[in-house]
Chain A
Amino acid sequence: MIVVFGVVLYPMGRTLVLSLVDATSALQTEFTFSGLSNYTALLSNSEFWATVWRTAVFTVFSTAVELVVGLLLAQFLNQRIRGQWFFRSLVVLAWALPTIVSANMWRWILHPEYGALNGLLMHLGLLDSYKDWIGGPTQALFVVALVDAWKTTPLVAILLLASMQTIGDDVYEAAAMDGAGAVRRFLSITIPMLKPAIAVVLVLRTIEAFKVFDIIYIMTRGGPDSGTTTIAFYTYLQAFSNQEFSLGSAAAYLTVLFIFVLSLVYLRMLRTDSGGTA
Chain B
Amino acid sequence: MRPSRFYRPAMYLCGALLAVVVLGPFALLLLASVSPQAGLLGKPPDLWPDSPTLDRYAAIFTQAAGGVAGDFRVALVNSLVVAGCSVAVSLVTGVLGAYAFARLRFPGRRLVLFVFMLTYMMPPLALVVPMYMTGAALGLLDTRTSLVVVYCSFTTPFVLWLLSGYFRALPAELEEAARIDGCGRVGALIRVVLPVARPGLISAGLLAFLMAWDEFFYALIFTSSPASKTVPVALAEFTGRYSLDFGLMAAGGLLAAVPPVLIALIFQKHITRGLAAGAVK
Give residues in A with beta carbon < 8 Å to B. 1, 3-4, 7-12, 14-15, 18, 26-27, 73, 76, 79, 81, 83, 86-102, 104-109, 111, 113-116, 118-120, 122-123, 130, 150, 155, 158-159, 161-163, 172-173, 176, 196-197, 200-201, 204, 207, 210-211, 213-214, 217-218, 232, 235-236, 239-240, 245, 248-249, 251-253, 255-256, 259, 263
Contact = CB atoms under 8 A, between A and B. Distances in A.
Ordered nearest first, which 10 A-B pairs have the shortest CB separation? A14-B130, A162-B276, A96-B264, A119-B44, A252-B126, A11-B130, A100-B232, A101-B253, A11-B127, A8-B119
Contact of A90 (B22, B93, B156): B22
Give chain A's interface secondary structure class.
helix
B153 A4 contact: yes
Contacts of A249: 126, 129
A99 B126 contact: no
Nearest to A204: B279
A79 B153 contact: no
B259 to A, nearest CB: 9
B246 A26 contact: no
A3 B129 contact: no
Taking each of A92, A100, A109, which has the highest tally of chain B beta carbons within 10 Å of its own beta carbon?
A100
A155 B93 CA distance: 27
B150 A7 contact: yes
B79 to A, nearest CB: 9
Nearest to A14: B130
Given A114-B40, A197-B280, A232 B22 contact: no
A149 to B, nearest CB: 11
A92 B236 CA distance: 24
B260 A96 contact: yes
8 contacts: A11-B134, A12-B127, A15-B129, A88-B268, A119-B47, A120-B44, A201-B279, A217-B236
A259 B125 CA distance: 13
A27 B136 CA distance: 8
Most chain A beta-carbon contacts within 10 A, residue among B12, B25, B236: B25
A108 B136 contact: no
A248 B249 CA distance: 32
B182 to A, nearest CB: 28
A193 to B, nearest CB: 14
B148 to A, nearest CB: 11
Contacts of B257: 96-98, 101
B214 A14 contact: no
Nearest to A113: B43
Contacts of A176: 1
Nearest to A263: B121
B169 interface: no
